[in-house]
Amino acid sequence: MEAEPRELDREDFWAACAAPAVEALAACATPEDVERVRVRFLGRQSPLSLALRRLRDLPDERRRQAGLLGNRTRTALEEALRAREGELSRAAAARRLEAEVVDVTLPGRRPALGHPHPLVTVRREVEAIFASLGFTVADGPEVEGEWYNFEALNMPPDHPAREMHDSFYLDARAGPDEPPGRLLLRTHTSPVQVRYMLGRGGRLPVRIIAPGRVYRRDEDATHSPMFHQVEGLLLGQGVAFSHLKGVLTEFARRLYGPQTEVRLRPSYFPFTEPSAEADVTCAFCGGSGCRTCKGSGWIEILGAGMVHPRVLEAGGYDPERVSGFAFGVGIDRLAMLRYGIPDMRLLFEGDLRFLDQF
């Protein structure tokens, strides 16, 4: 509607401006429709807004009356828009509540609870067993220097045993406060023994276990490039091989049951002398022979031996006065035997179908 200056101070003119908006507003079915009506009839290019801008063309005595009528019309439309929008919003909410009725009397769904990983469970049990035997838990860095990982454990650079570890070397060398050599991801937790001995300053006794992650270039059903070990060390005066067998027997019986027997077989490790591998009676057949133990009735669980004099010297102890034993056991292997897991890789794949069984 094109407003003529002579009509701007007439009440019927402003009523005619508002009538189409009121009619369109009555036909709105959603709050979105109301917004479209707002833009159409109250926007900058709407007939009402254009008429209000024409007020400046009126003489002063007529402009006041026309402005009063125009602003009253605009205010009435804005209130009608708000009322209609609120009415439609309440109706939509009521319909939504009716469609989304919640029966509060229905029983709730219990959330799925997590549980420790089988490796965590076995590690905690191993730590608890040795803690009850007087051992404390020691820790050390996973990025280790060659001296701590090899040389201090009686494995000089040309020692063939170093090839068996097939290490992950880093493009870095030990710092100025460390023995010279390259850095690598530790291949066993035995370096913790050396660091602990050096930190003790020759004091006795020493009774520690060192659980943690270790790394080697190896992967198949029974090996992983990252796996877990528990290293044990006991030093004192008059410590003998019989003490080692007693501790390992007690450990095995607490872990696998009082009927478990332990067998020590001669072996070789650079850091112990004499050395032995420890077997336990098969937990699956009780020693009668099965596929798991390949019919022998025995399963190997760890390596052990009396601490080599050179390792004692590297740790700051006099091998003429001090003796002790050390052992290393794979937590992953203990878990596989405990739960009958055929492939070590299952422990690290994160498959909930597998983990939920524990």
> Can you give 38-80 as a three-state secondary structure string?
HHHHHCCCCHHHHHHHHHHHCCHHHHHHHHHHHHHHHHHHHHH
**Domain boundary, last residue among 46, 68, 99:** 99
pLDDT digits 0-9 by tens, 54-99? 766 676 667 777 667 767 777 877 888 888 888 888 888 888 888 8
**22 found inside a domain:** yes
User: Into how many domains does the chain fold?
Assistant: 2
CATH number for the domain harbouring residue 294: 3.30.930.10
- Tell me: do 87 and 125 sit in the same domain: no
- Tell me: do 81 and 129 sit in the same domain: no
**104 found inside a domain:** no
pLDDT at residue 57 in the model: 67
- Tell me: do 148 and 13 sit in the same domain: no
Q: Could you tell me which residues are beta bridge partners of residue 235?
A: 206, 324
Q: Are 167 and 216 in contact (CB under 8 A)?
A: yes
Contacts with 183 (C-beta within 8 Å, 6 or more apart), sequence order: 143, 144, 145, 146, 169, 170, 172, 173, 174
- Tell me: do 229 and 196 sit in the same domain: yes
Q: If you average pLDDT over each of 26-30, 75-79, 148-152, which comes out highest?
A: 148-152
Tokens linked to 265: 């077989």
pLDDT at residue 2 in the model: 47
**109 found inside a domain:** no
Range of the domain at 41: 5-99
- Tell me: do 77 and 214 sit in the same domain: no
Mean pLDDT of the chain: 86
- Tell me: do 194 and 60 sit in the same domain: no
Q: Could you tell me which residues are beta bridge partners of residue 230?
A: 211, 329
- Residue 9: pLDDT above 70? no
Q: Are 197 and 288 in contact (CB under 8 A)?
A: no
- How would residue 263 be classed by pLDDT, with cut points 50, 70 and 90? very high
- Tell me: do 259 and 341 sit in the same domain: yes
- Tell me: do 70 and 170 sit in the same domain: no
- Helices 31-42 and 60-99, axial angle in degrees (round to 10): 170
**Domain boundary, last residue among 40, 71, 99:** 99
**Domain boundary, last residue among 41, 70, 99:** 99
pLDDT at residue 293 in the model: 80
- Tell me: do 149 and 274 sit in the same domain: yes
**155 found inside a domain:** yes
- Tell me: do 82 and 126 sit in the same domain: no
Q: Are 178 and 216 in contact (CB under 8 A)?
A: no
